[in-house]
Amino acid sequence: MNPAILALEDGTVFEGRAFGALTERSGEVVFNTSLTGYQEIFSDPSYSGQIVVLTYPQIGNYGSTDEDMESAHPFIEGLAVREFSPIVSNWRSEQAADAYLKTHNIPIIDSIDTRKLVRHLRTRGVMRGVLSSLSTDVPTLIEKARAIPSMAGLDLATRVSTPNSYPWSQPVEPCSPSERIKGAGESLYHVVAYDFGIKRNILRRLVTTGCRVTVVPSGTSADDVLALNPDGVFLSNGPGDPEPLVAQANEVRKMFGKKPIFGICLGHQILGLALGGKTYKLKFGHRGGNHPVLNKKTNKVEITAQNHGFAVDPDSIADSIAEITHVNLNDGTVEGLRHKSEPVFCVQYHPEAAPGPHDSLYLFDDFIGLMKEHKK
């Protein structure tokens, strides 16, 4: 096996074996605690600019399939794992995960102590790093890591967004005959979805709940969206810092009171900015499928899927404008907002899951309810 090295900006180095592409990539090193769903993580545009450490010890054992793609190609810069399985054992697999990432020029490092790496990132915070299967020159790799632009201030959403509008009509499909998922019903509502790095399963969930969807680029003006005469507007997830997206937040603000609006993840943060709030960078972010969130309206706890490195500052949201509807039970951060007088709401986590629990699917029905009420 070829050697691989992961070098962090603080001088910490991990040496392991190389899988995937024999290349060198750089980015912010983050960790995800999900037990399954590595392919959805690879192809989530929210991971643009990031090297992902997976805490589950064995990765690659069930291969990959096109049906589970969250986008047209993977967006991670690199992958770090404890053990990468060369053996694929799953009836749905179409290609080994190693071959899939190799095709897209993404390097993998395995045989490293991922527990040590994750504890380091939790203590020191996420940091920039270089993953190389080409060079063993540690001092040079560390210097390269220190030269990488910080994630703070980066507008990656514009980079990953679709260049052109397109329709979406595919509903959620069951992975096996035993999985009970209602098929797409009649398309009663037209939703315009802003693509800041949108996941396909969000689009599938919108269709499954009865929507006809038109996806538009991140820079689309409010006038152009309203000209499509939608019943509702959706703001998607995406990568990078929300703070540079001032223009997008201003366009969203123009639609308050005109159409129901629902935001997820980066869309939540953009709505926070549109409500007059501010955002800040978390020490190591929330990435995984088991984050507890309190719904303050029902007083119930939802186990949620999350993937973000920034959050909305609760002190920046005026009580007269919006209320905090959901709170993270691990660290008290804002997980949901709702406008007090307009049909506008958002959550920081991913109710569509893929991967993750389905505790929060009701939010899509809530969106349908707002559009139904607004059409009267």
Q: Which of the residues are catalytic? A: 265, 350, 352
| First vs last C-alpha separation in the chain | 65
- Give the whole-angstrom CA distance, residue 350 versus residue 128: 25
> How many other CB atoms are there within 10 angstroms of residue 301's CB atom?
12
Provide the phi-psi class of 336: left if phi over 0, else alpha when psi is between -120 and 50, else beta: beta
DSSP string across 136-192: --HHHHHHHHHTSPPSTT---HHHHS-SS-EEE------SSTT---PPP----EEEE
Pairwise CA distance, residues 26 & 17, whole Å: 17
Calpha distance 105→244 (Å, rounded): 29
Q: What are phi and psi of 116, to 5 degrees?
A: -65, -45
As given in the structure block, the two tokens for residue 99 are: 């071959």
Sign of CA dihedral 160, 161, 166, 168: positive
Residue 103 vs residues 5, 19, 66, 127, 319: alpha-carbon distances, Å: 20, 12, 14, 27, 50
